Amino acid sequence: MVLLSAVSSFFQQVAPILPPGLVTTVAAAFVGDGKYFSVWKNEFIGTLLMIGFTFSPGKWIGRDALTVAWFAHACGVVAADKIGGGQHVNPAVTLSMYALGKCNYTEAFVRIMGSMAGGLVAFPLFKVFADYMKLTPLGGPEFNPSGDEEGINAGLSEFLAVVLLMIIIYTVNWELNFGKYHYWIKQTLTAIGIRYLIETFPTAGPAINPMLGTTWYIFANGAYPDHLGHYFTYWVSPFLAAIVASCMYVIYAGGTVFGKTLPLGPVKGGGKPTTSESKKKK
């Protein structure tokens, strides 16, 4: 009885401060006997850094100067990626990488859980920091069902933004080479692209990242989202966008989507050689 009483007391103290879903996302770190723990850890840390460095501009930095806020956001994108080790920190990006064969299913699952855990911890953590430092609390993307009950307009905004985000990622990471300064140039271009997408597709926040939309909601409301429009906007649309973008890239550069070849492409390199051309080469 004493042991149970002590455990119950501890549980009653801890449970209210744990974000819903955190235990599940942490448990995923040990899938496969911990084989992917480092992947989970890097996604967790990368997400913490990404939210801290990219949500603070406009709130803590450059509140009255848009140019300063944009510059700080760009620096935040580069810094979070560099310090965090270049993790996905975005379930839609992870889905695309899985579709293109860049990671297996288990790794993709663990990456998504790591980023979700990072988001669940980041928002309350930075709220405590903001309160202590007397700073403006960070905000987050929110789905507004008024006039868009099914989330079609918001979902379209997120869909287009994610497709363009993926095109930026494919281009600067795989198609362009900036030589000695490749990393710094491609990350700067990525940061500029992300800022542009934020300003161009504001309907759903924007999030351009399923993890951000849902972890912010959980932090702001203390519970899982209960509106289907939220899931359509922040998960269905971005995931569909990631698959469409993956198909577009395979049509351009070749490869497979979920292990399957497509009947179109590749455009890059002039496409597949014809039968007669193949015989001539032999």
Condensed to tens digits (0 to 9), the pLDDT of residues 119-152 reads 999 999 999 999 999 999 999 999 999 999 999 9
Assess contact for 233 and 159: CB atoms under 8 A. Answer: no
Neighbours of 44 (CB within 10 A): 27
Q: Give residue 274's pLDDT.
A: 43
Give the type of residue at 99: A
Q: Give residue 15's pLDDT.
A: 66
What are the beta bridge partners of residue 57?
61
For 233, the 3-state DSSP assignment is helix
User: For residue 71, what are its two tokens?
Assistant: 């510059």
Q: What is the pTM of this model?
A: 0.90
Measured distance CA(138)–CA(212) in Å, rounded: 12
Question: What percent of the chain has pLDDT above 90?
Answer: 73
User: For residue 132, what are its two tokens?
Assistant: 């202590």
Q: What is the torsion angle, in degrees rounded to the nearest 10, for the CA atoms of residue 189, residue 193, residue 194 and residue 197?
A: 180
Of 209, 208, 233, 230, residue with least CA distance to 220: 230
Lowest-confidence range among 59-68, 152-161, 186-195, 248-257? 59-68
Condensed to tens digits (0 to 9), the pLDDT of residues 63-121 reads 878 788 888 888 889 988 988 888 999 999 999 999 999 999 999 999 999 999 999 99
- Residue 197: pLDDT over 70: yes
User: For residue 266, what are its two tokens?
Assistant: 């590749």
Measured distance CA(129)–CA(185) in Å, rounded: 32
Q: Give residue 278's pLDDT.
A: 44
Measured distance CA(52)–CA(125) in Å, rounded: 10
Lowest-confidence range among 53-57, 67-71, 155-159? 67-71
**Position with higher pLDDT, 17 vs 145:** 145
In a 10 Å sphere around its CB, with 0-12 CB exposed, 13-18 middle and 19+ buried, how is residue 4 labelled? exposed
- The mean pLDDT value of the chain amounts to 91
Measured distance CA(149)–CA(144) in Å, rounded: 8
**Position with higher pLDDT, 9 vs 191:** 191
User: For residue 134, what are its two tokens?
Assistant: 């007397």
Measured distance CA(271)–CA(258) in Å, rounded: 20
Neighbours of 239 (CB within 10 A): 18
* Residue 24 Ramachandran class (φ > 0 left, ψ -120 to 50 alpha, else beta): alpha
Q: Give residue 6's pLDDT.
A: 81
What are the beta bridge partners of residue 190?
none
- Enumerate the H helices of the chain as residue ranges: 2-14, 22-27, 37-55, 66-84, 91-99, 105-133, 152-170, 182-200, 210-221, 228-231, 237-253, 275-281
In a 10 Å sphere around its CB, with 0-12 CB exposed, 13-18 middle and 19+ buried, how is residue 128 labelled? exposed
- Categorize the per-residue pLDDT at 45 as very low, low, confident or very high, splitting at 50, 70 and 90: very high
DSSP state of 64: T
Q: Give residue 271's pLDDT.
A: 54
Q: What is the mean pLDDT of the segment spanning 208-236?
A: 96
